Structure 1
């Protein structure tokens, strides 16, 4: 018995639909090949300490800044999308060079502002495992999936010899998240109506230079916090040649990031309310810079700036929607805010679990200490 023509057409449509569902775009497929090639290189070089160190640094440098770009230059990119990418790159690139050069000179070759003086991280690795060199590849995958991940915890935990040091980073990060969330609610509850009043008006000419100033200050403070994530594989005191290699690679990597306009993870910033407005971006950058500077001077323990940032955006989103005049708009906005807050926290939590599992897989001493801490 032959099948009906309509059945054949339906089957063809279902087949095409299934193919589209499981197909991968050429761009994504090429990126997958790129990641596989990098992973292969990691497997080849990890036994050779000097080569592995620079490969791990290159991967850590680009992956950390690519994932954390949403925190520092994300709002800057969004609100300056009409400008030439290389103007933005040169501005932020020069700030990077000045910031790390100051640390290098002041702290005797240390580019991390002494963030690597934390117990368990004070000594540079003298040998590498495959997972240590390949850890940034995991970060690249998570970045491609648009997941804001704590690069501090993921990268530093792969090289720390003490579980307690990661516990200190996590504790400080969670305090930072709560502090940012509360401060954001206060700030945007007080300013929401003011922004609504002037939202339809064109920003005054002085907002643009003010935003560049606050974004530059934020970027500099962020480097003071997170340069440790990039430099963790390098000697704690870099000589001149090592410093030039370090600074040049990150400077050029920033150029790639600006050319890609933040790449896919930039959507985490752009899905938030009114963030492309130069006035909103300026306030976000200013509050975030002040928070990071405060957390920097509290102690030298590294912090997950990612958790602080998603706390800031979450509190801001909730406050903006809570201050809406219409009850229906307010109710709908709060539901949307809670959904975004939950999604960001979930993604960051997934990154945290992956980071801990990675650290326990790499380090026998940390694994033993961790199991002792939980009573196993």
Structure 2
């Protein structure tokens, strides 16, 4: 009897969808399972947000998967794109193993802190003892943006919900914007200045040594990224984790990475694959190496968290412009198309920033007044 009703129910749902613009209706129908699951998570957040011990882990679970799913394009996006012919579980074990080693080193060295002291900076040094609904649900907004293939800043979206002062948000914003422009300039200098060298280097089939080199470089990048962005996930948790909490933290993210690799990065992976010439192992190795060096530089100058997303899109933007100018063997795209592409990525990042500030202000309305005074007062 249930089977007889289901076609009618489907027709009814499609009838409702016909009242919406075609593109929106099609997206909702295609994503109906995802939206139902998301709605369930919002309900769960509303039920448990005022139970701190439950809300703490619930927010962490949401943040762990959503942050890594969105930020995967930065660190393992080129790794996935250039290793599409490899078994997913081999890639997972390599990246997952590096994750365990990296966070264990921080946990052991910094007395239970898995963030390399990123959360000791102003405004983030105290673990939350109570939660508001939007703090727990903030990662769910990130899941929506990820599903829409938007490379937004998880740092802004997640950390801003817990900022105790506007100084903390402003410091993160300043450091992140600096990262974007430095990465943009460095990429242009490298791909313009070395385009003849890179042209010779990338001619013909890749040598056998490139594949293991890329795995090593990608592993280093992933480790350095974790040193910056683990704070976005651990912000829900005590600043010092005991053994059992550390095992939950590590195990959940490790197996979450397995899902991500099984899905081959999911839809947001298109942010990487639509760029010029990123599936070649040699190009992917150079991109990851430059990115890792920039992130390590910012790690050393201060413990203030930063948006690695802004650094990444700045790097890809500078590279696209340089390749458009040199047009090495036709691998670049026309400059006008390159500007459209990088403008789209920047626009998405700005949308994420705006949403994160809206969430922060909704949680603590005083933040808006303080931000205005900080930047314009």
Provide the TM-score with structure 2 as the length reference. 0.91
Q: Which runs of 4+ in 1 moved over 2 A?
A: 15-27, 190-200, 329-332, 364-376
CA offsets, 1:108-148, max 9 Å, x none? 00000000011110000000000000000000011111111
Q: Does 1:210 align with 2:213?
A: yes
Structure number with bigger Rg: 1
Say which of 310, 314, 330 aligns to 1:311.
314
Say which of 79, 92, 95 aligns to 1:76.
79
1:198–1:167 Cα change, 3 Å: same
The CA RMSD measured in Å over matched residues stands at 2.1
Tell whether the 8 Å contact from 2:310 to 2:349 is kept in structure 1 after alignment. yes
1:195–1:98 Cα change, 3 Å: same
Q: SS state of the match for residue 195, structure 2?
A: helix
Q: Does 1:127 align with 2:130?
A: yes
Correspondences of 1:101-180 after superposition (within 5 Å):
101-180=104-183
**Separation in 2, partners of 1:314, 1:198:** 22
Tell whether the 8 Å contact from 2:114 to 2:234 is kept in structure 1 after alignment. yes
Q: SS state of the match for residue 226, structure 1?
A: helix
Equivalent residue number for residue 373 of structure 1:
374
Equivalent residue number for residue 335 of structure 2:
334
Equivalent residue number for residue 347 of structure 2:
346
Q: Does 1:321 align with 2:324?
A: yes
**Separation in 1, partners of 2:202, 2:165:** 50
**Separation in 1, partners of 2:25, 2:208:** 49
1:47–1:270 Cα change, 3 Å: same
CA offsets, 1:63-83, max 9 Å, x none? 111110000000000000000
Equivalent residue number for residue 8 of structure 1:
none
Equivalent residue number for residue 44 of structure 2:
41
Provide the TM-score with structure 1 as the length reference. 0.91
**Separation in 1, partners of 2:315, 2:373:** 35
Q: SS state of the match for residue 147, structure 1?
A: coil
1:330–1:111 Cα change, 3 Å: closer
Q: SS state of the match for residue 141, structure 1?
A: helix
User: Where does structure 1 lack aligned partners over 5 or more consecutive residues?
Assistant: 1-14
User: Where does structure 2 lack aligned partners over 5 or more consecutive residues?
Assistant: 1-17
